[in-house]
Amino acid sequence: MVSGYLDKESLCGVVVIYNPDDTIVANISSYINELSHLYLVDNSEEANAGLIRQICAISDKISYHALGQNKGIATALNKGCELGVNNGYQWILTMDQDSFFESGEFFDSIFGTTYPGVAIIAASYNSIYFKPAQSSYAGLIEIGFAITSGNVLNLAAWLKLGGFADKLFIDEVDNEFCIRAGLNGYKILTTNKIFLRHHLGDDVMIRHWITRQTRKVSKHSPLRVYYVVRNNLYIWRKYAFSAPAFVINRMRNLAAQIFKIFLYFPDKKNYLRVMLKAVKHACSGRYGKYADK
């Protein structure tokens, strides 16, 4: 097998689950045939034995790995990547439990080629990219970052970069990894077409507190906002000078999220409380899983 060559034989996958519902069966079925093996890494405190049996019945290429508690997305992804490396795979598809592919077109478009210097080939779920540029690979463009779900990750790059940052637990894990990849000379590529169906937060109808008009917005829980704020502060402090354009992009993104919270969310005090806690923890270097102390 040629080093860096991407095909079905060299590609395994990891899907991280946390208290999933039965839609995960159809989601996994949408891409299992494109992989040589799939590692099902469970972050749930209590496994749903019946659903796990149903998932594993999809294919004998699926193996189940329970972490016994919620250790965060970074640790779960690292577990899947470690399994992939130990079993001789060169690439790994990283997936969220609520993401799926509508066809195998993405894999058809990237298989059969060697990708030197490439850390990630991402399936597009959106038409908005950070600093897109034309790539030397047909049908692909070079970007600054990609979300975790729908990534085909170079396991040699994962090893060299030291894996995902466990301390971040969840949120900004993908962005922080992409910063390190770029700083180490790796490229991140994505498709020109939308292949992945991905869910971002819960879409809810919320009334504007001034105009009283309603609109649909993607809403994250206060706990999720805590991780967003804390981990963005981590990125700002660590990469402000080495990756200033990226940091400015994340600052704008966070400002827009906070603005949306204070315009549309009814429980503003609770969100403000967790955001202040996030600032406190970031300044004192407290990371990992949230503890209300």
Q: What is the pLDDT of residues 207-236, one digit of tens each?
A: 555 555 565 556 778 999 999 999 999 999
Q: Is the pLDDT of residue 129 over 50?
A: no
Average pLDDT estimate for 283-293: 89
pTM, two decimal places: 0.90
Q: Is the pLDDT of residue 205 over 60?
A: no
Q: What is the pLDDT of residue 198?
A: 73
User: At 66, phi and psi to the nearest 5?
Assistant: -90, 130
> Is the separation of the CB atoms in 236 and 247 below 8 Å?
yes
Q: What is the pLDDT of residue 274?
A: 95
Q: What is the pLDDT of residue 203?
A: 52
Instruction: Identify the H or E element spanning 218.
Output: strand 214-219
pLDDT band at 130 (very low <50, low <70, confident <90, very high): very low
Pick the closest to residue 26 from 51, 63, 47, 61 (CA basis).
Answer: 51
> Is the separation of the CB atoms in 48 and 22 below 8 Å?
no
Pick the closest to residue 226 from 280, 154, 185 (CA basis).
Answer: 280
Average pLDDT estimate for 253-264: 86
Average pLDDT, the chain: 89
CB within 8 Å of 249: residues ≥ 6 apart: 130, 144
Residue 76 burial (CB count, 10 A): 26
Average pLDDT estimate for 167-184: 96
User: Rounded to an integer, what distance in angstroms lies between the CA atom of residue 258 and that of residue 229?
Assistant: 9
SS3 at position 203: strand
Q: Which DSSP category does 103 fall into?
A: S
User: Rounded to an integer, what distance in angstroms lies between the CA atom of residue 174 and that of residue 182?
Assistant: 12
User: Rounded to an integer, what distance in angstroms lies between the CA atom of residue 95 and that of residue 13?
Assistant: 8
User: Rounded to an integer, what distance in angstroms lies between the CA atom of residue 148 and that of residue 171?
Assistant: 10
6 Rama sector, left if φ>0, alpha if ψ -120 to 50, beta otherwise: beta
User: Rounded to an integer, what distance in angstroms lies between the CA atom of residue 196 and that of residue 110?
Assistant: 14
Residue 77, amino acid = L
Pick the closest to residue 154 from 197, 110, 112, 119 (CA basis).
Answer: 119
Domains within the chain, CATH numbers bracketed: 5-197 (3.90.550.10), 202-284 (no CATH)
SS3 at position 187: strand
